[in-house]
Chain A
Amino acid sequence: MIPAELTTPEAAAAVGAAFAASLVEVVEAFTIVLAVAMLAGWRPALLGTAAALATLGAAVLALGPLIGRVPEAALQFAIGVLLLLFGLGWLRKAALRAGGVIPLHDETALYAGETERLGAELRMSPTAAAWIAGLAAFKAVLLEGLEVAFIVLAVGAGRGLTWAAGLGALAACLAVLAVGAALHRPLARVPENALKFGVGVMTCAFGVFWTGEAMGVDWPGHDLALFPLAALFLLAGLVAARTARRLAATA
């Protein structure tokens, strides 16, 4: 049974945006942890991952109460602006990739590059191999985990949707772990650019909606205004990709 507060359009959008964005980040972290595990064994990979998750947990526990003290309008404004910047960045990159201006993200290439880089480091310092491998896993999980934590906070905080967004992120983690455990290889088939495009559209819509609301904009239809805003950014993203393709073709 789905709780009633998760069935509103805004909560559904929060779950979807957090799931898709977290999926992209978790797949990247998984690729690096897998590379570490294949080169140096699962022990340093899992220890590095556990240490990063503990650091993340401590950071969230330390910062969570502070966020609760910020006035709601100020929090909504700050998060709205950050979401807009984040969303525009993802949408720009996705449009440039779709337009062929920059290469598509390739999880297999990332895995090969990480394996080569880490392999060279391990050969140079065989006595510190476990430490170097663990640190690589720690860095990857900490960085991608911080991004997931930001996405959850940004999509959820200020509107009482942190649980909904957290649920989306948790579902993404479980999905990647389940598929990754079954495959034991990089998840190269995840449509990373399409996800990035979709998340960029949703986060831009959320960003404009919340920034506007914090400024006193009374959006027609209230939460339903998210849908025309998302349609506007979808259209802008598609036009941007088309423009990028045209400009790249004339080079």
Chain B
Amino acid sequence: MSVLTEVLKDLAKMFAADARMSSAALALVALAWGVTVALPGDGLVAGLVLALGAAGVLLGAVAAAARAAARKD
């Protein structure tokens, strides 16, 4: 049983090693979805929101982790 639990935990970590970053990415997907609903004829705007937003989420997550590590030192 412990083997299965460990495997499941590690699998979950594949997608949510940083819970805040994963939540932000999911919120971004929801936002992009909202854009496709609000602007049904212009799907590219949603694509840009998704792509640029994901890059922003990455930068924010790395900066937050680096700041947290710097505070620890």
Contacts and interface: CB of A to CB of B under 8 A. Distances in A.
A243 interface: yes
A89 B12 CA distance: 11
B14 A150 contact: yes
Contact of B16 (A85, A219, A251): A85
A236 B55 contact: yes
A3 interface: no
A241 B15 CA distance: 20
Contacts of B54: 84, 88, 204, 207-208, 233
Contacts of B15: 82, 85-86, 89
A119 interface: no
Given A138-B3, A139-B3, A147-B14, A247 B32 contact: no
A146 B11 contact: yes
Given A101-B65, A247-B70, A250-B70, A88 B29 contact: no
Contacts of A91: 58
Contacts of A235: 55
Interface residues of B, number: 41
Nearest to B65: A96
Contacts, number: 139
Dominant SS among interface residues on chain B: helix
B63 A244 contact: yes
Given A85-B22, A139-B7, A218-B44, A208 B58 contact: no
A88 B61 contact: yes
Contacts of B73: 251
B53 to A, nearest CB: 9
A91 B58 CA distance: 8
A71 interface: no
Contacts of B51: 208, 212, 229, 232
Interface in B32-73: 32-33, 36, 40, 43-44, 46-47, 50-52, 54-55, 57-59, 61-63, 65-67, 69-71, 73
17 contacts: A81-B26, A86-B14, A88-B21, A88-B61, A92-B21, A150-B11, A208-B54, A212-B47, A216-B40, A217-B46, A218-B43, A219-B47, A237-B58, A240-B62, A244-B62, A244-B63, A250-B70
Interface of B: 3, 6-7, 10-11, 14-18, 21-22, 25-26, 29, 32-33, 36, 40, 43-44, 46-47, 50-52, 54-55, 57-59, 61-63, 65-67, 69-71, 73
